[in-house]
Structures are given as C-alpha cells and as structure tokens.
Amino acid sequence: MNLPLLVDCDTGIDDAIALTYLATHPGTEIVGIVSTGGNVPASAVHRNNLALGELLEIQAPIALGAAQPLVEPPMYADDTHGPGGLGHAVLPAITRTEDPRSGAQLWVDAARAHPGELVGLVLGPHTNLALALQIDPELPRLLKRLHIMGGAIHHRGNTGPTSEWNIAVDPEAAQQVLAAFTGAAQRPVLGSLEATETVRFTQGTLDRFTALAAATGHPVASILADALRFYFEFHEADGFGWMAHVHDPLVAAHAVTGDFAGTRPLAVDVELTGTLTRGQTVGDELGRWGRAPNVEVLTDVRAEEFTRHLLETLEVGLFPSAHG
Ligand code: BDR
Ligand code: CA
C-alpha cells in the first residue's frame, strides 16, 4: 500500500494546495481528512474539504472537527484566506457526504486501522488531535510519524508578535499534543515559520497555477489559482509585497518524501500564560529545562527545489490522463 495519511487541516488556501499535492502524489494514500476550525469556521473548512475531496476523487472519510478550541473562543483568518477560506474561488455544488464520526474519532480509527503505519499531518490548530488523545492515549505509539505545521521558534509570529496561527488558535491543544508525544519512538516533525516562510511564491509561480488551470481544465486547478491570487493580495496588503508565504505544502512534501529540508532535535513547549506571548513556541536551545528534545524542527529548506517538485506533482496529477 502507498503511504497511508491522515490529514487534519483548516482549509485554507495553503491547506488546499497541500491536500491537492497529497491526493495527486503517486506514493500516498489519504485514509482520512479531519476538518478543523481555524482559518475559517469548522463548518466552512468542512465544506471546502468535501468539495476538494469530491473533485479530487478522494475516497477516504472526511469528518467534521470540533466547533471550538479547547479553552478560548475561536478566531478566524478570513482576511488572509477569504470569507469561505479559499480566496476568490467559487466552489461548485457538491454531492459528497461527510463521515458521521467526529474528527477526533476519525484520528483514532485511522490509527487503529493502520497500526505503526499511519503518518499524521496537522496543518491547522491541534484541537482535534488533542481530543483524539483523550479518547486514545496510545495514539503516539500507533502512529508511524506526526508532521506539524506550526510555531515560530526563532522568528517573529504571524498572528501575535511571537505566535504562529496554528498554535495561537488553540495553544492548550498544541501543548497537550507535544506533551503526549514526548518520548514517542519518532519525535514529531515541526515545520515552524522560519522553515515555511522560506517558501515564497512569486508571480511566476502564480502563473504556473493559472496555466495549469487552462491546460488541464481541472476544476481544482482553477480553485487553487483563484485562491492563490487572494493570498497574494493579502500578503501585499500586509506589507510583504506581491508574493505569498505558502506553509502547509512544504510540511506535506517533507512528510511524504523526507526531502527538501533537514531536521534537528529540540525541546519545544508552548507558552500558555504569557500576557504578551500566549501561544509562543519556545525552543530550549541550551538545554536549560533539562528535558530531552521532543520534536524535530525543519531546517535548511531547499525552497526552490520544493516548489519545483510541488508544481510538477500537481501538473502531472491534475492532468486528465493521470486518471485514465
Ligand atoms: C498556518 O496558518 C494558516 O493560516 C495556514 O494555513 C498555515 O497552516 C501558517 O501560520
Ligand atoms: Ca493550515
């Protein structure tokens, strides 16, 4: 069997690109998708995931996650991702139905169905994985590996001055996940902003998505091109110029290929009580806590190579002939 994946995401523009990459990569098998509230409410994320699932012919169950983070009220990033989460894209009517299980239960069932083989990806807040750990504390031993997009360790935040979005939305959940995986045979791999912000899409990249939509006529290629345009507009309005930081696909590609970045061990924890720094990921570089490293952080990203691989995978995968 291809590499079985459980994808937990808050789709979201870069989540949609990651999901499309994972669905079209020839070596993967998505066995479940969890719709986690984050960039937009969980119900809107779910609609996006169901639509992409139908258009990409993903057979795996797609389950709705919790409506709220563990402790604090939700916050949303519709300025970044658009009111529906996919920028300017307009989704077609869909017939794809959701899985009746909760997102947390889907995590547990997928891990139990593929013991020691399932690779988990958290591309949004950690709420549903934290809830899954309450149902089944054995999850860290059942998963083959866990890959996370989250945190800003030696980097400014993109949400608060020191906090990154996926952690800031539900810091308690992120803290609980990192605590639960401490001592796991394989340390979770953390793609924090210092790694993911090396991936900077330019007009040339946007052109490739637009050309892909024209060449393939695939509805998902058009959705991604329209979504990305919004992401560029947001980044420009936020002072970064005409470009986009595209986070989740790098973490997805590294999870699948082990390529495009290195890793290094580090003890990382989440600040829960700071009056200015709640949601910050703190890395203990000098071992002051006396704790063993609990994550592998992504380093030395080969961003251009990764972007080439991403585009080539989408260009092959979305071409109609790829589906026979
Ligand atoms: C993360 O936050 C979300 O807006 C993106 O989808 C990504 O997962 C980057 O901080
Ligand atoms: Ca995301």
Q: What tens digit of pLDDT does each residue of 49-90 get?
A: 999 999 999 999 999 999 999 999 999 999 999 999 999 999
1 within a domain of the structure (yes/no): no
109 within a domain of the structure (yes/no): yes
Q: Is the CB of 166 under 6 A from ligand 1?
A: yes
34 within a domain of the structure (yes/no): yes
Looking up residue 269, the CATH number of its domain turns out to be: 3.90.245.10
Summarize the confidence of residues 228-250 as an average pLDDT: 98
Q: Is residue 322 over pLDDT 90?
A: no
28 within a domain of the structure (yes/no): yes
Strands (E) in 140-275, as ranges, are 145-149, 189-191, 200-201, 244-245, 262-266, 268-270
Q: Is residue 321 over pLDDT 90?
A: no
pLDDT tens column, 117-127: 999 999 999 99
11 CA → ligand 2 middle, Å:
6
Percent of the chain with pLDDT over 90: 98
Ligand 1 atom, smallest distance to 77 CA: 4
33 within a domain of the structure (yes/no): yes
90-94, 133-137, 283-287: least confidently modelled range: 90-94
The model carries a pTM of 0.98
Ligand 1 atom, smallest distance to 164 CA: 10
Q: Is the CB of 164 under 6 A from ligand 1?
A: yes
Positions annotated as catalytic residues are 247
Ligand in closest contact with the CA of 76: 1
Exposure string for 74-113, b = 16+ CB within 10 A, e = fewer: bebbeebbbebbbbebebeeeeeebbebbbbbbbbbbbee
Summarize the confidence of residues 207-217 as an average pLDDT: 97
57 within a domain of the structure (yes/no): yes
Give the residue numbers spanning the domain of 46.
Answer: 6-323
Instruction: Report the residue among 13, 162, 165 best suited for mutation to probe ligand 1: largest number of ligand atoms under 8 A from its CB.
Output: 165
pLDDT at position 229 is: 98
Instruction: Count up the domains in the chain and report the number.
Output: 1
pLDDT at position 324 is: 46
